[in-house]
Chain A
């Protein structure tokens, strides 16, 4: 039965201020039940305060074959990391 249902990707916000994180997927017949299934499957132990579900087929993914041109050029660009200046002591949370 559940294999007849579309797959939904589940995102959980652990607490206010944090971003939603992908935690897994559920099968469900429609949007409303996808949320219910996500709640029952992924927030049973107080994991979150907010849920998103997105139909898996609605996610546009990069092609693994293109990983070279897409990602490798960034490998030798260490100057893009913000590590070349001193952080003043007064600045917290960085």
Chain B
């Protein structure tokens, strides 16, 4: 009978040897690509498309479970906006076959950020996640709507209105829950603590992104980081919530490193087309 590998007793010693920056912080060296620009553009489409797809899937999990029928519709509307964006972007990335990208990739091939794959938690956490993401997406798309790339320009110009609404709605709820009851304020503080460490990833610029920025094809997210932080701070002040201390950032989603939660999300999202590949409806 094959035996299991021995249990290592020196876990602490090994942990000490681990790099202080953490396993996911630094991008790993990649083999040079034959066509870096095309690869970079493709990767950028996946980042945008996967963000929208995964957040849309997360929001759709609320369907039938929201605090009221009106909020249920608000969340479903947002989910549909995002899945619509994802459909356009992933279709463009894969010559009209976005479904292949959505349903036939596994965790390591997804390029979404960590924030959007975080579980819904309670309504407070869903709203904080939405505020942090939609504010970023709104500022990004405002600039992306000026891109020389006709596809990016068109999708951003169309989606920016949807995203502006998501940002507004999440802001309204943040203010009401933060400045609501003792319980709602506590839940909002917990939600902020949970989500805050995923914000720096939104402003990370790696080599692939740097190349597209250099061509002025896409905006440099760092150009609106200050504006972003100020916008979030404004909402938090009105919500009577304190901005959490900056935590050790968690990076890597853009390179395929994800939390365990993404696998569970994909298991649900991909179950049907993987089990019944010919299903149509």
Contacts and interface: CB of A to CB of B under 8 A. Distances in A.
A70 B80 CA distance: 48
A89 to B, nearest CB: 46
Interface stretch (B66-74, B88-96, B114-122): B66-74
B70 A41 contact: yes
Contacts of A33: 172, 176
A44 B77 contact: yes
A36 interface: yes
Nearest to B123: A1
B181 to A, nearest CB: 11
Nearest to B180: A29
A interface bracket (residues with beta carbon within 8 Å of B):
10 to 19
Interface residues of B, number: 12
A28 interface: yes
A27 B68 contact: yes
Contacts of A37: 70-71, 73-74
Interface string A13-55: 0000000000000111110110011001100100000000000
Contacts of B74: 36-37, 40
Contacts of A41: 70, 73
Contact of A40 (B67, B70, B176): B70
Contacts of A5: 68
A36 B77 contact: no
A40 B168 CA distance: 13
A57 interface: no
A5 B71 CA distance: 12
Interface of A: 1-2, 5, 26-30, 32-33, 36-37, 40-41, 44
Shortest beta-carbon contacts, A-B, top 10: A2-B68, A37-B70, A40-B74, A1-B67, A40-B73, A26-B70, A40-B77, A41-B73, A1-B68, A36-B169
28 contacts: A1-B67, A1-B68, A2-B67, A2-B68, A2-B70, A2-B71, A5-B68, A26-B70, A27-B68, A27-B70, A29-B176, A30-B176, A32-B172, A33-B172, A33-B176, A36-B74, A36-B169, A37-B70, A37-B71, A37-B73, A37-B74, A40-B73, A40-B74, A40-B77, A41-B70, A41-B73, A44-B73, A44-B77
